[in-house]
Each structure stands twice: as structure tokens, then as C-alpha cells.
Amino acid sequence: NPELWRNRIITDSFEPGSTFKVFLISAAMQENVVKAKDRVFCENGKYKLARHTINDVHPYGWLTIAEVVKFSSNIAASKVALQVGNERYFRYIQAFGFGSLTGVHLPGEVKGIVRHYRKWRPIDLAVAGFGQSIGVTALQLNTAIAVLANGGEYIPPLIARAIVDAEGQVVESFEPRPLRRVIHEKTAEQIRAMMHSVTQEGGTGVNAAPEGYTAAGKTGTAQVMDPVSGRYASNRYTSLFTGFIPADNPRLVMTVVIH
């Protein structure tokens, strides 16, 4: 079936859901909008913004920023996004590589969907804090998580280490090279610690830690648009986990997407 021929990690874009909270918190901490121990009131599960209601799966009162990542509060994320503001948040979204090609040497890559911040209403900014109204590819998401894993630098992904001839001699080699610094190393370290807590007791990704390893990551459950109604479908979701092992010395970054 030709429908199955495409390379979905670069050709399919989807809403990243709560996995996006780590990039929001990275931006907020880098800009000194919040600190890890600051607390946000989560409105006991329901938060009205203009004519919209933002919900949490589990009702919370006060959560620290670190707990916002661990327990994945949409309400707290929306409040932090409103504090960061359209322009600053948009700048970090771009710096993490969303809305542009990764440049990996594979055909059919798409840019994803990131509308310009000047078109964002307050509700658009709020929901972007927890990964709605934005489209990403699996490779973009994986590469952005690698920024956090490697200390805050964006390194474009490669698929080959070298090209060799018939005799096994190297014709051309490729080395990963940082393209830009997105956040400071200290900020990345703090976010990594929060992501580690996600896989520990009480976190949303406790089952994601392989036995014998420390793991860090972020879960996400994103609603899917119904192409007919133009609204979110009530029975269709994208489930995600993205993270790295070992948590304290990352060597492998992995993103799992289940449509």
C-alpha cells in the first residue's frame, strides 16, 4: 500500500501534547520567569480563560514548577505560558527546532506547524504551553529532547557516520556539530532532573524506566483533530513518551509515538 511507504518520523506532523511542557519550562526558567521551587495554583482541575475551560486529568491545588513537569498539569503550563508571553515563547520554540526542517538527509521531511506569534490569542498561547495548536514531527521532538540531554545545544541529526568505498576506505565522514546554544547548561541540568522525576514513583512515566537504568522523560496524550468537524475527536488520541537514558549521563534519546 503506497500509504505505508512514507517515513512517518519526518513526513507526519502531530500535536505533541504534554511532552511540550519541558520546552515551555526551559524557556520560563532560562528567562527567569520562574524557578524550580516556585509554586503555581492549579485551580483544583478547572481553569477558565475567556470563554474556554482548561482541564487537568487530576485536580491539583498548588504545585511547584518541578511538580508541574512530574504530574503534568495543563493548567499550570497555561499560566506559565501566559507569563512567558507570545514573542519569547515563540523564539524558544524556534530555537528548539520546531517549525523548520531538521535538515536530515532523508526525502519528504516536513516543517511541522508553528503559527507566527503575532497571530496568537491568549488562549492560543495558553494551550501551546501544553502542546496544543502546534504540529511537530517525531524527529523534531527527538532532536529537541536531545538539546536537554546534551546540555542545551541544538545539534542537527545525522543518519550516517561515514561514506566508504568498495575497499572500505572512508570517502567522507560526518561529525555531529552544535548549531546553536538554546539554553544554559545549568537550565538543562534542572530540566533533566525534573524529567527524571517523571519516571520515579508518582510520576506519569514510571513504567518507562528499564530495569537497571535511570531514565528521564515526559509523557504526552494529545487529542486528534476530526477532519470533518474541525474539532478535537472524542475518541482519538496520540500517546507519546520521549526521553533519555541514563538520566544522569544521557547516551540514548528515544521518542515513541502511538497514534
pLDDT interval class at 1 (50, 70, 90):
confident
Q: Say what the pLDDT of residue 77 is.
A: 97
What is the value of pTM for the model shown?
0.94
**The three grid cell numbers given for residue 135, joined into one nine-digit string:** 504540529
Scan for cell 511507504, then name that residue: 5
Q: What mean pLDDT is reported for the chain?
A: 95
Q: Say what the pLDDT of residue 233 is.
A: 83
Q: Say what the pLDDT of residue 105 is.
A: 87
Active site residues: 18
Who's near 81: CB < 8 A, 6+ residues apart?
A: 24, 89, 125, 126, 128, 129
Using one digit for the tens of pLDDT, what is the confidence trace for 51-109?
999 999 999 999 999 999 999 999 999 999 999 999 999 999 999 999 999 999 899 99
Residues of 59-87 as b/e, b for ≥16 C-beta within 10 angstroms? Answer: ebeebbbbbbbbbbbbbbbbbbbbebbbe
Q: What is the mean pLDDT of residues 214-241?
A: 88
What are the angstrom distances between the C-alpha of 226 and each of 34, 215, 232? 36, 34, 6
Among the residue ranges 1-5, 40-44, 177-181, 208-212, the one predicted with the least confidence is 1-5
Length of the chain in terms of residues written:
259
% of the chain at pLDDT higher than 90? 88
Per DSSP, the three-state class of 258 is: strand
pLDDT interval class at 209 (50, 70, 90):
confident
**The three grid cell numbers given for residue 68, joined into one nine-digit string:** 508541574
259 or 67, which is more confident?
67
What is the rounded radius of gyration, in angstroms, for the C-alpha atoms of the chain?
Answer: 19
pLDDT interval class at 235 (50, 70, 90):
confident
